[in-house]
Amino acid sequence: MADRLTPPAGGSAIDYERAFRVRSPDRPVIPYIEGDGIGPDIWAAARRVFDAAVAAAYGGRREVQWFEVFAGEKAIARYGAGMYLPDETLAAIRDWRVAIKGPLTTPVGGGFRSLNVTLRQELDLYCCIRPCRWYEGTPSPVRHPEKVDVVIFRENTEDVYAGIEWKEGTPEQGKVLAFLNGEMGTRIPADSGIGIKPISERNTKRLVAAAIQYALDKGRRSVTIVHKGNIMKYTEGAFREWGYEVAAEKFPGHTITEAHLSQGDRQLDPGERVVIKDRIADAMFQQILLRPDEYDVIALPNLNGDYLSDAVAAQVGGLGMAPGGNIGDTAAVFEATHGTAPKYAGLDKVNPGSLILSGAAMFEYIGWDDAKSAIQRGMESAIRDKIVTYDLARQMDGATEVSCSAFAEAIVQRL
Ligand code: NAP
C-alpha cells in the first residue's frame, strides 16, 4: 500500500521511558482519529479547546502538531473496502506514541473485531484508565458527587474479554464439552455456550504495578484491588494475590497494606506510603456509592473494571463527561468513552465533554499539567454558569442549552 500519511513538519516524538513516565518536547506530533458518527463534531470542538488551553497555559512556547490518521468509516473512504484499521494508522501511533481518538463504529458481522479492542491488543495497551471526578454544577444522581475523585485502572487485555468462547451446538463446543465433562469431571449441560476467563500473573502484576506507580507519582493515598475472588478463586482471587505480591516486590517501603495498619483498636498512620487494600466487587459497588471518599486509585480485572467505570461515571454526570485512556509501556491512546451516537451525527448537538476531558488526561500524561488545569477550569466554569449541551441541560434547572461547538467556545472563554 502506498504511504498516504504525511506527518506535520516541525514536530517531534514524545520520549517514552515506560508507561506513565514520558517526556514531551515542546512541539509533539500527536496523531488523532476523528471517529465516526458524532466524532467529527466532538473532535472539532475538542481541538478548539486543546489549542486554546495550550496557548493560554504556555503562551506560544508549546504547541501540539496534530496529525490526522484514519480508522473506521473515514479509513474505508480513503483506503477502500474492509480497511477499517490500516497498518499505517497503527504504525503512526507506534511511532508517535501518544494519540487521541473519537468513537468508532463497531462493524457488525463479517468477522470484524471491535476496532477499539483491536487497537488495544495490537498496541498492547494494557491499562484502561478512567479518571472520575465531579465538576461543580454537573447534574448527578447522588447527594455528594464532590466526594468522588478516583482513577480506575482496568486490565485491558484478558479476562472474559479475551474473546475465547464457543457457540452451543458447534463441533468446537462439542470438543471442549467432551474434554471438560469427560476428562475434567465437570457437569456442564450439553446445550451450553462456553467461554474461557484467563487471568495471568504477568498481566495482573503489570496492571497493578502501573496503578501503584501512578498513585506514588500523583500523591494519591491508596490503591484498592477489586475482585470476585471469593467465588472465582484462581482467576479473580489470583488477581488479588498477585496485586499484593507486586506491591511487596516492586514497592517495598512505598506501600503498606490496610491489614498492617489496623492494630486492634488502633489505626497506624501510613505516612507517605500508599495503602494497598482490596474489596470484593459486589461490596465495592455499594462502597463507591456510600463512601466514595475512601477510594482513590482502583485496580480491577477487565469485566468488573468495565462495569465499575460506567457506574462511577454515572455518579459524576454520565458518560458524556467521562474521560478515558488506554495505556501501554510504549504507546497510549486517549478516547471518548461513549459511542458514535449516529442519530446525532453532524447536528453539532452532543456533549464534547468526554473527549475534551480525555485530552486533559492526555496533557497530564505528557506532563503538561497547566494545560490540563486550564481545561478543567474552563469546563467547570462553563457548567457552573449553566451553559451546557442538551444532555446536561435536560437535567438542570435554568440552564442555557447550547450546541457542541458553542459549549467548546464557552469553555475557551473561561480558560
Ligand atoms: P452511544 O453511541 O454511546 O450512544 C448512546 C446514547 O448515549 C446516545 O443516544 C445519547 O443518549 C448518549 N450519548 C452518547 N454520546 C453522547 C454525547 N457525546 N453527548 C451526549 N449524549 C451522548 O452508544 P450506542 O448507540 O450503543 O453505540 C453506537 C455505536 O458506537 C456502535 O457502533 C458501538 O459499537 C459504538 N461504540 C464505540 C465506542 C468507542 O469507540 N469507544 C464505545 C461504545 C460504542 P440520548 O439519545 O439519550 O441523548
Per-residue pLDDT of the chain (415 residues; tens, 9 = 90+): 445 788 899 899 998 887 788 989 999 999 999 999 999 999 999 999 999 999 999 999 999 999 999 999 999 999 988 889 999 999 999 999 999 999 998 776 555 567 888 888 899 999 999 999 999 889 999 999 999 999 999 999 999 988 899 999 999 999 999 999 999 999 999 999 999 999 999 999 999 999 999 999 999 999 999 999 999 999 999 999 999 999 999 999 999 999 999 888 888 899 999 999 999 999 999 999 999 999 999 999 999 999 999 999 999 988 788 899 999 999 999 999 899 999 999 999 999 999 999 999 999 999 999 999 999 999 999 999 999 999 999 989 999 999 999 999 999 999 9
- Cα separation, 302 vs 38, whole angstroms: 27
Copy the grid coordinates of residue 321.
463527561
User: And the C-alpha cell for 300?
Assistant: 480491577
Strand partners, 263: 266
Among this protein's residues, is 214 annotated catalytic? no
* CA angle in degrees (0–180, nearest 5) for 409-148-267: 150
Please report, in angstroms and rounded to a whole number, the separation of the first and last CA atoms in the chain. 43
Ligand 1 within 6 A of 105 CB?
A: yes
Tell me phi and psi for residue 309, to 5 degrees: -60, -45
d(CA 145, CA 401): 22
Reported pTM: 0.92
Of residues 283, 200, 278, the one with CA closest to residue 238: 200
Ligand 1 pocket check: which of 73, 74, 340 to mutate, most ligand atoms within 8 Å of Cβ?
Answer: 340
> Which residues fall within 8 angstroms of residue 186, CB to CB, at 6 or more apart?
180
Distance, CA of 360 to CA of 324 (rounded, Å): 10
> What is the rounded CA–CA span in Å between residue 252 and residue 258?
14
The answer to whether the CB of 104 is under 6 A from ligand 1 is yes
Exposure string of 175-197, with b = 16+ CB inside 10 Å and e = fewer, is ebbeeeeeeeeeeeeeeeebeeb
Q: Whose CA is nearest to atom 18 of ligand 1?
A: 351
Q: For ligand 1, atom 48, which residue shows the shortest CA distance?
A: 391
For ligand 1, mutation pick of 73, 306, 338 (most atoms within 8 Å of CB): 338
